[in-house]
Structure 1
Amino acid sequence: MEDIEDLLVGGGGAAPPGFRLPITAAVGINKTTTKKKKKPPNNNNTLQQQPPPPLNHHHVPGTQTIFLKTFGCSHNQSDSEYMAGQLSSFGYAISDDAEGADLWLINTCTVKSPSQSAMDTLISKCKSAKKPLVVAGCVPQGSKDLKELEGVSIVGVQQIDRVVEVVEETLKGHEVRLLNRKTLPALDLPKVRKNKFVEILPINVGCLGACTYCKTKHARGHLGSYTVDSLVGRVKSVVDDGVKEIWLSSEDTGAYGRDIGVNLPILLNAIVAALPSDGSTMLRIGMTNPPYILEHLKEIAHILCHPCVYSFLHVPVQSGSDAILTAMNREYTVGEFRKVVDTLTELVPGMQIATDIICGFPGETDVDFAETVNLIKEYKFSQVHISQFYPRPGTPAARMKKVASNVVKKRSRELTSVFESFTPYNGMEGKIERIWITDIATDQIHLVGHTKGYVQVLVVGPNSLLGSSAMVKITSVGRWSVFGDVIEILTESSDVTIPSENKDTINKERSSPCSNQEDACACSSAQPEPFACESNCCNIAATDPAPEAQSIQNAPTNPSLLSRRKPSPTMVETESNTNQKLATSNVHGHDWGLLDTALIGGIFISFLTIVALFLYVGS
């Protein structure tokens, strides 16, 4: 089946990245009923044996319900939010109920075998239920000839702006495929965010690397960056919408702009300048590979010190062995990775770095693996995403001699055990931290906030705290999160009153000048020196949490999992009195001061005088 082609009036021409390409297109649809094909073998598991559903002449566009399922990274999540926004704008209802939906839309990930296996299972269920199906994402874009995709409508990663057309035709009984890469999807498309306080902003697609194990580049392609102006415009727009966290997302954030003559520091400085000065909206920089951040370390460190930027970065190392990094074609050495970590840790107080490890890459010896373990032990990263090696079809690594599967599993378990032995949050109890609250924990009791170092803090309070920034006192720590009491609210998004005695505490114990939006900080001065971050500036003590799902093998790297960690019963019990403190803060009267007493006394005396005058006149 051939792809649909856009027929551009006047021959067209690519628009600048980040801006919508005007299209007045005639769309050709391939109908499965009109195309003659050889009769397939008798196999009840293939969709092509079944006739396509009859065309519904009473079909009313935009009245159906669509089940949307997303696999993979934050970039995929952003694509799904854009697709949901367009479909919702057209009238379709987006639902989590697969059985009751009229059509299934599956956004896929090709990074690991388990994700693709889950996709295969879901496609089989959809076919068995005889539901119309559209598959999007990296799997069909990188492997469009998969048997599982036979008879299925497809929308490619750079065609998400046409998802409504694909859904519409699929509901009519047509098989539609849109895979040709044209220009980047516009950033101003309608969007339905999974979390209304979090904007996942793709800054580029594809990458410049050629890792031997990676299938993603087959789907996302070569680097393509959005313009600085289009990204800054999007930032201003989402801030006006009430977004409190902006996640920059891409296959390699550090490579941003090399195709259009700019670089990541230029973009970051422009975005930071567009953020509210009160610190109500925070920026989180996405995953970056070591090669493309090495030359900008000082500039990146300076930006990470800014009060509106989380002091957190995801820098994958994949292996602690130079021999394995060479086999992976990662284009850096362990020493260069160390330089990235050491430099950022030195220049950015409270800096937290997450990393990735692949266990059992082809050719990995016991010595190679020991070097990886030693690297993790040395730095004690608070987040380590540990994966077993999965050969992806069509990649050079898939043709390499594999390590025995029992050895791969053993190494994965050993590294996981090492990682879980760390206690990154010891020493945080009693500290005062500023957090940004953006989510509700799965226990439906705690709200989820993050410190400037992106440490996950669970607090008890009303849902009106969502979207606000607050000062908290850390009361206890767990392996994956810390717990705190809200003692001061720094934004106007909540009507919760904090007891006056806690306000006194905050003035005495505030540990970070940058945690107060009104305090001066050398990191955020108007004309800062490149290394203006002193030891007492932006002082955020703690390390970033890693939820349980991220510590085990095959764990996804989706940062949204941070809010999905269910606290242990002991931690919930420890914080059970927090709700009482907040609930009673509106009930208890405040302490009467001298001025208050004098005012009330004067009013009372005036009242008595007036009564006396009336009595006198009356007599």
Structure 2
Amino acid sequence: MEDIEDLLVGSGGAPPGFRLPVPASVGVNPKKKNNKQQPKLRKNYAIQSSLSGPISPKIPGTEIIYMKTFGCSHNQSDSEYMAGQLSAFGYALSDNPVEADLWLINTCTVKSPSQSAMDTLISKCRDAKKPLVVAGCVPQGSRDLKELEGVSVVGVQQIDRVVEVVEETLKGHEVRLLNRKTLPALDLPKVRKNKFVEILPINVGCLGACTYCKTKHARGHLGSYTVDGLVARVKTVVTDGVKEIWLSSEDTGAYGRDIGANLPMLLKAIVAELPSDGSTMLRVGMTNPPYILEHLKEIADVLCHPCVYSFLHVPVQSGSDRVLSAMNREYTVSEFRKVVDILTELVPGMQIATDIICGFPGETDEDFAETVSLIDDYKFSQVHISQFYPRPGTPAARMKKVPSTVVKKRSRELTSVFESFAPYNGMEGKVERIWITEIATDGNHLVGHTKGYVQVLVVGPETMLGTSAIAKITSVGRWSVFGEVLEILTKSKDNAGPSERESNGNKCKPCSDLDETCSCSKEPQACACEMPSCGEETIVTDGNQMTRVEERNHQNVIRWLLRKRRSQKKTENGIVLEPKENPEVYRGRIREWALFDRALLGAILVSLFTVIVILLWACWR
């Protein structure tokens, strides 16, 4: 195995195959190649390789990269940064592993199932004889893992050098970058999974030493980004049109304790940079109880702000002090209750999510009963329930285990208790401001969230993505509620027009003080065309009338010149079809170009007639 640091020797400090990035591709979803002729990949990822000999070398930066991400939002952010850098150097990203020239797997070490999925994917990659790079917490926390033999690796703090690792791997080298003392820069190129959501890592690692946690082995001790650096990043992404910022880390509550700062200080600095109209929303990430107890009132003040979701993820893991002590969680159940009670009291509409581990070593029936009682007392709208998985190298892996049958039974029982709650009863008929961010998995609804981060499903065109709206809750379900959009308050950057608001009812003023309830939005995916106008069809609701807008792709000059231009409206099945722009401007443009089009078409016909005459004359002679 060759280490990439050895490959750098004698190169004057430049990385192997050093090239300048392509600025035009930075932060833009790369264009995917046409997959119509590519064989489809089955759900079991069964792949038959057609490689029978050496592959002809390609020009660096022309290959296709398949990326797969496991784990938390921090991992997702790392993948977006790696995708941005690869895109900046010309690589195409694809969801199709069959057509890819190299696979890049970003791994998670929290639970055994995710690592088992990684092992399966690595095996499939080897069967397909594809070059492979593994990133993330698994190789960082388990460097000598047998499954990683012969595989190139990029560590969690080396994501800014992913291009080097990929290019050397494509050359046939096995390279590994795992050691680093500084954090990756925040201003690296980025390709976001959702254009309107910026996942912003505020620190890496944590101050805890939980006996079951393997992530600490990978992410290490707490390392925080500076307040100024994070605020600068927020300014940049707001300018880019991001509508929702998620603060992410292994423990956001511990932020800044290594650099003389704290979480409330950071939150206040970020909130000061958010648009006052509530068009960009902040969501605070997972926060363990020990590090927010001393800042509860300050954090509550921030969560009341109109541009911050009244939502917090505070994992408790167990309702038993004895089990919490065995986990080395550094707080008691009463302290967790204090966090929940104070935030619920001080923040209107506050929603708290929590985590539970069932079957931790030594957990008795009495311990589990205390956990059930805690969850039943608060009836949390979100509880992430998982069974205990012993992770190699952790103290808990050496503790006496609870029988697996008992662990599964407790998990099912707690799930049944949780699913018996009806957390959204009473919301029906309410009018809420929501921020519409994505398309639901059913493909029929758009997903919005209230300020308390309650999921609201609405029916509407994709042009509503990235907008903030007033919606009436029409019905409630167990996991989400359904709503009807009454008024669009803010438009996404891509759909901005002369007016900031569109309404089917009364006007609503923008958020201006801490007593108002509001949040913010996301924008739709950017079109990957090289020209400003992409070929797309958009539907915009306008009261009970629907206007369909069809934008032509002007890149094909011949089609554009020969296209018949119509200035009058047409109807099709009762639906009005008209240009997206101002009709008067459009009709003026038609009149302006009509004479030129006719002259050009006439010239083409005359030229064609002349060619035909010349050919006939030549044949006659």
Q: TM-score range by the shorter chain?
A: 0.7 to 0.9
Gaps of 5+ in 2: 18-50, 523-538, 548-573, 577-621
Q: What is the aligned partner in structure 2 of residue 286 from structure 1?
A: 285
Does the aligned pair in 2 maintain the 1:5–1:27 contact within 8 Å?
A: no
The equivalences for 1:569-588 within 5 A come to 582-584=543-545
Q: What is the aligned partner in structure 2 of residue 248 from structure 1?
A: 247
**Separation of aligned partners in 1, 2:481 and 2:110:** 31
**Separation of aligned partners in 2, 1:588 and 1:170:** 55
Q: What is the aligned partner in structure 2 of residue 606 from structure 1?
A: none
The equivalences for 1:379-528 within 5 A come to 379-493=378-492, 494=495, 502-504=504-506, 516-518=509-511, 520-521=512-513, 523=514
Q: Percent identity?
A: 80
Change (3 A) 1:119 1:273: same
**Which whole-Å deviations, capped at 9, do the CAs of 1:262-308 have from their partners, x for residues lacking one?**
00011000000011111000000000000000010010000000000
Deviation at 1:182, TM superposition (A): 2.7
Deviation at 1:495, TM superposition (A): 8.0
Indicate the SS of the match to 2:335.
helix
Does the aligned pair in 1 maintain the 2:234–2:273 contact within 8 Å?
A: yes
Q: What is the aligned partner in structure 1 of residue 195 from structure 2?
A: 196
Deviation at 1:179, TM superposition (A): 0.5
Q: What is the aligned partner in structure 2 of residue 145 from structure 1?
A: 144
Does the aligned pair in 2 maintain the 1:56–1:172 contact within 8 Å?
A: no
Does the aligned pair in 2 maintain the 1:5–1:28 contact within 8 Å?
A: no
Gaps of 5+ in 1: 10-22, 30-51, 508-515, 524-536, 542-559, 561-577, 590-619
Q: What is the aligned partner in structure 2 of residue 4 from structure 1?
A: 4
**Separation of aligned partners in 2, 1:134 and 1:158:** 15
Does the aligned pair in 2 maintain the 1:113–1:390 contact within 8 Å?
A: yes
Change (3 A) 1:501 1:398: closer
Q: What is the aligned partner in structure 1 of residue 532 from structure 2?
A: none
**Which whole-Å deviations, capped at 9, do the CAs of 1:141-170 have from their partners, x for residues lacking one?**
000111100000000000000000000010
Change (3 A) 1:193 1:224: same
Change (3 A) 1:6 1:455: farther
Q: What is the aligned partner in structure 1 of residue 160 from structure 2?
A: 161
Amino acid at match of 2:299: I
Amino acid at match of 2:4: I
The equivalences for 1:595-610 within 5 A come to none
**Separation of aligned partners in 1, 2:186 and 2:303:** 25
The equivalences for 1:28-47 within 5 A come to none
The equivalences for 1:339-418 within 5 A come to 339-418=338-417
Q: What is the aligned partner in structure 2 of residue 25 from structure 1?
A: 13
Indicate the SS of the match to 2:478.
coil
**Separation of aligned partners in 2, 1:204 and 1:498:** 36
Deviation at 1:445, TM superposition (A): 1.5
Amino acid at match of 1:409: K
Length-normalised TM-score, structure 1: 0.76
**Separation of aligned partners in 2, 1:249 and 1:149:** 28
**Separation of aligned partners in 2, 1:153 and 1:403:** 37
How large is the RMSD of aligned CA atoms in angstroms?
2.9
Deviation at 1:55, TM superposition (A): 8.0
Does the aligned pair in 2 maintain the 1:434–1:469 contact within 8 Å?
A: yes
Answer yes or no: is 1:111 the counterpart of 2:110.
Answer: yes
Does the aligned pair in 1 maintain the 2:77–2:201 contact within 8 Å?
A: yes
**Separation of aligned partners in 2, 1:348 and 1:6:** 55
Amino acid at match of 2:510: Q
Q: What is the aligned partner in structure 2 of residue 84 from structure 1?
A: 83
Does the aligned pair in 1 maintain the 2:202–2:249 contact within 8 Å?
A: yes
Does the aligned pair in 1 maintain the 2:486–2:503 contact within 8 Å?
A: no
Q: What is the aligned partner in structure 2 of residue 71 from structure 1?
A: 70
Number of residue-to-residue matches in the alignment: 495
Change (3 A) 1:498 1:7: closer
Change (3 A) 1:588 1:475: farther
Q: What is the aligned partner in structure 2 of residue 270 from structure 1?
A: 269
**Separation of aligned partners in 1, 2:279 and 2:503:** 25
Deviation at 1:491, TM superposition (A): 1.1
**Separation of aligned partners in 2, 1:54 and 1:75:** 39
Does the aligned pair in 2 maintain the 1:71–1:115 contact within 8 Å?
A: yes
**Separation of aligned partners in 2, 1:63 and 1:24:** 26
Deviation at 1:579, TM superposition (A): 10
Does the aligned pair in 2 maintain the 1:197–1:242 contact within 8 Å?
A: yes
Indicate the SS of the match to 2:121.
helix
Change (3 A) 1:227 1:420: same
Q: What is the aligned partner in structure 2 of residue 531 from structure 1?
A: none
**Which whole-Å deviations, capped at 9, do the CAs of 1:341-371 have from their partners, x for residues lacking one?**
0000000010000000000000000000000
**Which whole-Å deviations, capped at 9, do the CAs of 1:470-528 have from their partners, x for residues lacking one?**
10011111111111111111113358999999514x77xxxxxxxx425x53x2xxxxx
Amino acid at match of 2:5: E
